[in-house]
Structure 1
Amino acid sequence: MAKDYTLLAKTIVENVGGDENVISLVHCATRLRFEVIDRNKVNFDILKQTEGVITAMEAGGQIQVVIGNKVDQVYDAVLKCSHINSDIQNESKSEKKGVLNTLLETISGIFSPMLGVMCGAGMLKALLILCTTFKWLTPEMGTYRILYAAADSVFNFLPIILGYTAAKKFNCSPFVAMAIAMSLVYPDMTAAFSGGEKLTFLNIPVTLVSYTSSVMPIIISIYVMSKFEKLLKRILPEVCKLFLTPLLELMIMVPATFLVIGPIMDQFGKLLASGYTGLVGINPIIAGGVIGLLWPMAVIFGLHWGFFPIVMNNIATLGKDTLFVITGPNNMAQAGATLGVFLKTKDKKLKELSGSAAFSAVLAGITEPAIYGVTLPYKKPFIIGAIFSGIAGMIVAAAGTAIPTVLGTSLLSLPGYIGPGFVGFVIACAIAYFGSAICTYLFGFNDSMLNKNSEKEENTQLNDEITLKDETLSSIVEGEMIPLEDVKDPTFAGKMMGDGVAFKPKSGCVVSPVDGKVIMVAKTGHAIGLKSNNGAEILIHIGMDTVNMNGKGFDVKVQQGQAVKKGDLLVEVDLQEIADAGYDDIIPVILTNTVAYDQIIPMEYGKKEEQENIIELKVKK
């Protein structure tokens, strides 16, 4: 039976600021990538502590929630349980970003939706290379030709896919965009280029170039089209807008692309490709070493997306790429470092986490669980992996390995690298994997780091194995207890984060309802997460939208990881400050692990004093 990710999806949506805060949402191989209106509404603390989320960060102008291999299922759950959809483009203005963040966010938005099919096509090419190498198939066979068409068509007709994703990103008609892209790879036009024909448009000479597998011409063309489309929608009469808008777009944009945009971007692409190859050619060993060493840092900050157009441009102009090949062994290095932790640790939970993460990284090339869950929190394994990534990069660059497609690096994809420099690439991957594993095992990790590393200590506290027991929660504040359904917030009232009750406080002293530990403290002080000694996971959320107060009026008395007793003071809050800021001071008390209980029974509603019982919990038998 498939796992239900609805609760996880609802928690993620709530903590990125809700539906109304999301401008767009896409996902790549392991991450949900949100573009939001207001970054201050994103609660990174709760996201990072949420079971099912590896980590959350702001990078490349996006809120990135790292899920791992199940990201597509969580993505689908987000779309089902919210008003967010894959086509959303909120017209509200988001906070200003820098040029680099804007560029990276745009590139990610265009390329990440197509990453799955590109990787699949690349893997199919790799399998076909394996089949021809071992003489199982020959290029003349119908089986080979059909499968090769399936694999190569993605790259040959890449402008059409990019036209669609760029249109989604630039918020214009995707079908008109695809039609423009189709004209660039139309058989008559490709034949004219191959035959060296001289074409004119209204007596203006056309510079024909090859647009198959091209990247930048169609992206720039669709960006210009998006501006033109907005103009047309403003000036055209409603009665003829439906057909006249695409008519004018095709009549103007296709010739403009063939005459101006295409040739200019083709020359720019060639300069970019020659610049990269020239830089690597000066000293490939040094260049490969620097790229390999710095690549892990680029990955964790999401900066690797900025290189994707360069890689695609290399393939389109040179017929091959070396950049992603040089960085490929980084997957093996991080997998090896994670394997070293797996072999060294005696901690049951860390062994389980590192084992599955190491297997996923080496077999499928999915490294986020390894990086964020194992190597990065302990630092030394990550650094060792980066060093061996640099060493491997030097070897790959010196060997001159290159491939004509986009291909992740894993055991399954190694056949795709068969060709010039293949032996050097395999040696580099082996050194990266075994070198990182051995060095991490010998001196890069020991279990004493479990106590020294505060982040891992917090995660351990979150995941302590506790046998759930029946329990009774006491009042958190003096005031009137009301049903959760009466809270004027649909997320809490709809129990999207879990069942519970709420308080209309008369006092600003918020106390613990249980004996247990503090597992989360929001930086702004408006939310506290607790885990009781009997297994109840509790979120106390002080006020609605009070995150926008940035901590003003909140005096937090506890810290994450601290043990507390029932009645211990957690936060002193100035209720007048909340009122003056224009926010509701209602305090929901949520059982975030609601599904673990058979019954959640609120006591009688009305006025409550501290230490009065408020909820009775009955575990499932």
Structure 2
Amino acid sequence: MKFERESEEIIKLVGGKENVVSLVHCATRLRFKLKKTSVANKAELEKMKDVLSVVNSGGQYQVVIGNKVSDYYDTITKKLGLKEASSEEKGEKVSIISMLFEVISGAFSPLIPALAGAGMVKALLTVLTSFGWMSDSTTTYAILSAAGNGVFYLLPVFLGITLSKKLGGNMFVGGAIGAALLDPSYTGLIGSEGVVDFLGMTVTPIDYASTVFPIFVAMFIYYWVDKLLKKIILKDLQLFLVPMFSLLIMVPLTVILFGPFGTTVGDVISNSVMWLIDKSHVLAGIVLGAGMPFLAVFGLHWGFTPITLQNLATTGGDPIEGAAVAAVFAQVGIAIGLFLRAKKHSQLKALSGSTAITGILAGVTEPIIYGIILRYKRTIPILAIAGGIGGAIAGIFGVTCNAYVFHNIFSAPVYTPFFGYVLSVGTALVLGAVLSYFFGLKEEEVKEMESETTKVESEDSNKLEELVSPIKGKQVDLSEVPDEVFSSGAVGVGIAIVPEKGEVASPVNGVVSTIFPTKHAIGIVSENGTEILIHIGIDTVALDGKYYDVHINAGDKVQAGQKLVSFDIEGIKNEGYSTVTPVLITNASDLTDVIVVDNKEVKENDVIIKVIH
């Protein structure tokens, strides 16, 4: 598992395993739901190397990681042993508004990859047809168009699944309710000349493809219907009766009442926003371009997603994202400006360069706003100015975004008019870069970088670290280990030792990062950051700790030569297992070089590996 030690620290700092109700993640954030946020240690979390910021908003305790978030998520969820959060598990009480945004976020977050990927397919088709490389009348275009449109057409199904999961109902029954709205038996009634009724009640059939608000309303009601049915139906019969009655109740009610109501609500909200845009394109552009990044800090930008999708479904173009795209390029511009202003070897140089690339290529700007803008406060008004002016230009030209995409250079074809889009984002990017270059840093921050650069340049950039043998015995090449995982170097580079003495000592000064429950393997991180795995025997995990005694605990600081584990060589051999012990550097790709010392016999404190950082 990646970032194991760091993940353990994050769990500890959010209040421990017992304080975590649930965990999800988006493109850059770990979104914890905690029983008590007061016990989480925000200050210590923000000191961690990979943590850009911590935000407590919308009922979620958000730890902003950046591009490594999925690796952290995988490791933390495994360590927490999280099951799906049930509707009975609750964190701290939050306001209705916070709860609403949390539900919207939880519903759309799992769909972001599919929505963004499908949006980029639509952008690609726009490019191909615009340049005459493909005709929109070909069957190839039709198939690719299905790839781009499918997820949007079936939004009621996908949102039925994610909303039900978020609220606590059965996610697949929720999806089935959404699917019923798209079934040909129902859609065939749309435009029917005769009277459509259900048990004598008049029904006005509506096309729910690509809609958002109707399924939101339906799923909120379904949550309570599901709870009620579970209370009144015998547990032994719930498996089929609860979903059966849920469908019998919810589908007719949705097409008769909740669907039309949701459609009306969506239209009212969308029309209200559009009214503001129509009244003053410039003012709306300024507000969206300048304000969207700050809404994103608190996760409130999710409130616009249903409106955007509603606009795309009804008008084919969305002016909200057409103006908000300027905010993305303003942030990229700020990162570029500070990259050019920052001193060589400084932390800001590395951070601004990498986040600018991520922003312009992927449209993910959270690392910029959390890692740079909120740290260097002078860039905050620069962001508002650059984003606001870019948004105003978009408003003047009436720029719309015609597909749900991440705002990056690859999605440019989905904006119209294209000239207005280019002028808008170009102005935002150039203004952000120029203003941040000249005004983004305080004088003391520049001096701090100069001293940091001088210090780095005066030091020898290559540090040598020596690992001593943890075991007395015969040194052999990894290729001789009777296990392909180790012999191939897949786990790491290093050596193996055939032990003569059943004791393992630490090869470095460092911290014990991992002790496997079966005691046969131990992980250590040296003071210089070298990650070491000592695996005592081959396939000895099957012994379940038999013949092993551990003398330290995970998290303990250890010195080179300190005894870590004792093991019974003969006992292991008598069970039919090899005692050959690989000693591996597992993060060799992060190091300048790893040099294996050619020994035949080794004893404690003999140098076996040299690491160059």
Band of TM-score, shorter chain = 0.7 to 0.9
Distance 1:299 1:599 in 2: 51
Q: Deviations over 1:460-506 (max 9, x none)?
A: 9xxx98958799xxxxxxxxxxxxxxxxxxx99989xxx99xxxxxx
> How far is the alpha carbon of 1:124 from its aligned partner?
0.9
The residue that corresponds to 2:77 in the other structure is 79
1:88 to 59, 69, 85: 85
Distance 1:117 1:357 in 2: 23
Q: Deviations over 1:61-83 (max 9, x none)?
A: 21111121232232222222321
Distance 1:22 1:452 in 2: 39
Letter paired with 1:441:
Y
Alignment partner of 1:435 is 2:441 = no
Structure 2 residue 293 is the aligned partner of structure 1 residue 296: yes
Letter in 2 for 1:289: I
Closer, same or farther: CA 92–179 of 1 in aligned 2, 3 Å: closer
**Superimposed CA distance per residue, residues 136-188 of structure 1 (whole angstroms, 9 cap, x where no aligned partner):** 11111222111110110110110100000001111111111111000111123
Q: Would you say the 8 A contact 2:215–2:262 is kept in 1?
A: no
Aligned: 1:444 with 2:440: yes
% of aligned pairs identical?
36
Asked if residue 169 in structure 1 is aligned to residue 166 in structure 2, the reply is yes
Find the counterpart in structure 2 of residue 31 from structure 1. 29
Corresponding letter in the other structure for 2:169: C
Distance in structure 1 (CA, Å) of the matches to 2:30 and 2:461:
29
Q: For the aligned residues, what is the CA RMSD? A: 3.3
Distance 1:31 1:108 in 2: 12
Residues 245, 379 of structure 1: CA spacing in aligned structure 2 closer, same or farther, 3 A cutoff? same
Instruction: Give the aligned length.
Output: 492
Report the Cα distance in structure 1 between the residues aligned to 2:9 and 2:99, rounded to whole angstroms: 27
Displacement, 1:117?
A: 0.9
Q: Does 1:41 align with 2:36?
A: no
CA distance in 2, matches of 1:166, 1:129: 32
Q: Displacement, 1:107?
A: 1.2
In structure 1, stretches of 5+ residues that fail to align are: 472-490, 501-531, 538-587, 604-615
CA distance in 2, matches of 1:620, 1:36: 44
Deviations 1:282-312 (A, max 9, x none): 1111121122111221122222122222222
324-333 vs 4-13, which moves further: 4-13
Task: Give deviations 1:433-456, integer Å, cap 9, x for gaps.
Answer: 112111211222367315679xx9
Q: Distance in 1 between matches of 2:309 and 2:182?
A: 17
How many angstroms apart in 1 are the aligned matches of 2:177 and 2:562? Answer: 58
1:92-111 equivalence runs, <5 A: 92-111=89-108
Task: Provide the residue aligned with 2:409 in structure 1.
Answer: 411
Q: Which residue of 2 aligns with 1:330?
A: 327
User: In 2, are the aligned partners of 1:293 and 1:387 still within 8 Å (CA)?
Assistant: yes
Q: Secondary structure at the match of 2:15?
A: coil
Instruction: Give me the whole-angstrom Cα distance separating, in 2, the residues matched to 1:430 and 1:197.
Output: 54
- Gap change, CA 1:371 and 1:599, over 3 Å in 2: farther
Structure 2 distance, partners of 1:467, 1:160, is 56
Residue 231 (structure 1) aligned to one of 223, 228, 231: 228
Write the distance in 1 (CA, Å) between the matches of 2:446 and 2:57: 27
What is the rounded CA distance, in whole Å, between the counterparts of 1:360 and 1:131 in structure 2?
25
How many Å separate the matches in 2 of 1:248 and 1:303?
36
The Cα of 1:379 is off from its aligned counterpart by 1.5
CA distance in 2, matches of 1:312, 1:106: 16
Match among 44, 48, 51 for residue 50 of structure 1: 48
Which residue number in structure 2 is paired with residue 216 of structure 1? 213
Q: Which amino acid aligns with 2:25?
A: H
SS at structure 2 position matched to 1:294: helix
Q: What code does the residue aligned with 1:433 have?
A: L
Residue 121 (structure 1) shift: 0.7
SS at match of 2:133: coil
Structure 1 pair 96–619 and aligned structure 2 pair: CA distance change class (3 A): farther
User: 1:208 touches 1:258 (CA, 8 Å); kept in 2?
Assistant: yes
1:116 has 2:113 as partner: yes
Residues 1:65 and 2:41 aligned together: no
Question: Which whole-Å CA distance do the structure 2 matches of 1:619 and 1:590 have between them?
Answer: 25
d(CA) in 1 for partners of 2:465 and 2:44?
A: 24
What TM-score comes out, normalization by structure 2 length?
0.74
Asked if 1:376 corresponds to 2:374, the answer is: yes
Within 2, Cα distance between the matches of 1:433 and 1:46?
34
Q: Is the 8 A contact 1:23 1:89 kept in 2?
A: no
What secondary structure, in the 3-state scheme, does the structure 1 residue paired with 2:202 have? strand
Q: Is the 2:342–2:446 Cα contact (8 Å) retained in structure 1? A: no
Structure 1 counterpart SS, 2:49: coil
TM-score (norm 1): 0.73
Give ranges in structure 2 of 5+ residues lacking alignment: 468-512, 531-552, 566-604
Q: For residues 80 and 430 of structure 1, what CA distance do their matches in structure 2 show? A: 44
The structure 2 residue matched to 1:274, chosen from 268, 271, 276, is 271
1:415 CA drift (Å)? 1.6
Report if aligned partners of 2:514, 2:554 keep a CA contact under 8 Å in 1: no
Instruction: Classify the secondary structure of the residue corresponding to 1:346.
Output: coil
1:354 pairs with one of 352, 355, 358: 352
Alpha carbons of structure 1 residues 52 and 494: separation in structure 2 relative to 1, 3 Å = farther
1: CA distance between counterparts of 2:70 and 2:514? Answer: 26
- Say yes or no: does 1:263 pair with 2:253: no
- Amino acid in structure 2 at the alignment position of 1:373: G
- CA distance in structure 2 between the aligned counterparts of 1:325 and 1:20, rounded to whole angstroms: 44
* Equivalences for residues 493-512 of structure 1 within 5 A: none
On the 8 A contact 1:107/1:305 being kept in 2, the answer is: yes
State the match for 2:421 in structure 1: 425
Matched residue SS, 1:412:
helix
Paired AA for residue 177 in structure 2: I
Q: Per-residue displacement from partner, 1:395-438 (whole Å, max 9, x unpaired)?
A: 11111111332122111111222x3x221011111111112111
Q: Which amino acid aligns with 2:296?
A: V
Letter in 2 for 1:422: F
CA distance in 1, matches of 2:440, 2:193: 60
Cα displacement (A) at 1:347: 4.4
1-structure distance, mates of 2:529, 2:556: 7
Name the counterpart of 1:366. 364
Instruction: Report how far residue 590 of structure 1 moved.
Output: 4.1
State the alpha-carbon separation in 1 of the partners of residues 193 and 337 from structure 2: 57
